[in-house]
């Protein structure tokens, strides 16, 4: 048994669900679902291959309605007919001993038009993102906002009926929930926009809708997490001061964790290079005594994960589990010297990373450390 004290501690979340250890699989887009949003056999195999060691698997994002589909090959949680496939997915994860958490989201202005009915991309306001070739979305109506809030609750009901142990509300990475919180994408003058407190109204309404669904439909303890990005580069954009006010409120919402989306665990400000204080540390100091904080970001070796767990109670790892699906098991059995810390093209079959995900991995420069001998 490994001597590492933090990684293999069990951890009981506020809802009462106990994770067998403190390392979770991070949510990663995989492009593996069928075109209609149903779970594919390839997807089942991909997740099952990575569910053996972690305390929980957080899936790739699942859209809560048809206007929110952000990726080709994305899981859908927007219709009851998708529940049987979702149940196959939760069963596959459970079979390997991990808890299963479905990440639910709406892409907002980041949705590719070809995936959306009538190419009618919507957001908080009619403001395009700053990415190249971005479309200008249509401002959502009051009726659409209310329906989307309900849709998050309905997606949660479907996750419960499909046997998942929880959901993660995706309020990060520039998608719709973040778009409502951001002064860049939200220029509304009604109850859904305005100052920082008023821009919290939509995220908080989504949280309440999700929790109402849990109260109505879950017969056992059910995890509700929330993912957020601490800052935006845009002007105006989300500042760390905005986020600290947001987490003050989120910490009082009976959530099981706050998952802080960062590219590096110790990442400082993306708005001011002179401000190097880790954003995760600031959030942990602010609300860590009230709600569990989960960190993520370029944690590759067991030593790095162990040090990170000395600062926050939970860690998610992503790329590491793509390169090394047995990461947790090898650390636990003291075979750390066997960990694969680079991606080798000849390992494609063993890693169960099918197309089109494999080609995406190889096409993005510096996304994965590739074995130089094989390029």
Q: Is residue 358 domain-resident?
A: no
Q: Is residue 369 domain-resident?
A: no
Q: Is residue 57 domain-resident?
A: yes
The string of pLDDT tens digits covering residues 59-109 is 999 999 999 999 999 999 999 999 999 999 999 999 999 999 999 999 999
Active-site annotation holds for 46: no
The string of pLDDT tens digits covering residues 299-315 is 999 999 999 999 999 99
Dist. CA 245–CA 232, nearest whole Å: 15
Q: Which residues lie below 8 Å from residue 163, measured CB to CB, with a gap of 6+?
A: 86, 87, 90, 91, 94, 100
Dist. CA 52–CA 329, nearest whole Å: 7
> Looking at residue 259, what is its pLDDT?
99
Q: Is the dihedral of CA 154, 228, 197, 285 positive or negative?
A: positive
Dist. CA 368–CA 321, nearest whole Å: 12
Average pLDDT over residues 157-179: 98
C-alpha distance from residue 336 to each of 329, 332, 352 (Å) = 9, 8, 21
Choose, from 46, 47, 175, 226, the residue flagged as catalytic.
175
Q: Is residue 45 domain-resident?
A: yes
Average pLDDT over residues 95-124: 98
Count of structural domains, the chain: 1
Q: Is residue 175 domain-resident?
A: yes
Beta bridge partners of 56: 24, 99
Q: Is residue 310 domain-resident?
A: yes
> Looking at residue 1, what is its pLDDT?
41
Q: Is residue 2 domain-resident?
A: no
Nearest to 178 by CA among 118, 116, 233, 257: 233
As a whole number, the mean pLDDT across the chain is 95
Q: Is residue 354 domain-resident?
A: no
The string of pLDDT tens digits covering residues 277-301 is 999 999 999 999 999 999 999 999 9
20: domain CATH number is: 3.20.20.70
Dist. CA 5–CA 8, nearest whole Å: 6
Range of the domain at 91: 11-341
């Amino acid at each position: 048994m490994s001597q590492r004290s933090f990684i293999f501690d069990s951890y009981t979340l506020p809802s009462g669900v106990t994770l067998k250890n403190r390392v979770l699989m991070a949510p990663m887009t995989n492009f593996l679902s069928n075109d209609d949003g149903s779970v594919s056999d390839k997807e089942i195999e991909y997740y099952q291959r990575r569910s053996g060691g972690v305390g929980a698997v957080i899936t790739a994002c699942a859209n809560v309605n048809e206007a929110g589909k952000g990726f080709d090959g994305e899981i859908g949680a927007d219709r009851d007919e998708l529940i049987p496939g979702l149940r196959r997915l939760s069963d596959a994860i459970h079979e390997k001993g991990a808890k299963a958490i479905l990440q639910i989201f709406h892409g907002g202005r980041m949705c590719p038009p070809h995936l959306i009915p009538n190419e009618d991309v919507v957001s908080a306001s009619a403001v395009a993102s700053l990415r190249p070739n971005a479309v200008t979305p249509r401002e959502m109506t009051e009726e659409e906002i209310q329906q989307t809030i309900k849709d998050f609750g309905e997606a949660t009901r479907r996750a419960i009926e499909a046997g998942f142990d929880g959901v993660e509300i995706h309020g990060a990475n520039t998608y719709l929930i973040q778009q409502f919180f951001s002064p860049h994408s939200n220029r509304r003058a009604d109850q859904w926009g305005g100052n920082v407190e008023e821009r919290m109204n939509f995220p908080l309404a989504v949280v309440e809708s999700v929790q109402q669904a849990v109260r109505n439909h879950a017969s056992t303890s059910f995890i509700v997490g929330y993912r957020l990005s601490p800052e935006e580069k845009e002007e105006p954009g989300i500042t760390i001061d905005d986020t600290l006010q947001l987490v003050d409120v989120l910490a009082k919402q009976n959530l099981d964790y706050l998952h802080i989306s960062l590219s590096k665990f110790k990442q400082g400000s993306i708005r001011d290079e002179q401000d190097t204080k880790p954003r995760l540390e600031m959030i942990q100091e602010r609300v860590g005594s009230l709600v569990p904080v989960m960190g993520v970001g370029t944690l590759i070796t067991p030593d790095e994960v162990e040090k990170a767990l000395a600062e926050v109670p939970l860690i998610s790892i992503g790329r590491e589990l793509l390169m090394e699906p047995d990461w947790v098991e090898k650390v636990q059995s003291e075979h750390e010297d066997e960990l694969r810390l680079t991606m080798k093209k000849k390992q494609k079959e063993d890693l169960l990373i099918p197309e089109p995900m494999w080609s995406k991995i190889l096409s993005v420069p510096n996304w994965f450390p590739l074995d130089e001998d094989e390029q």
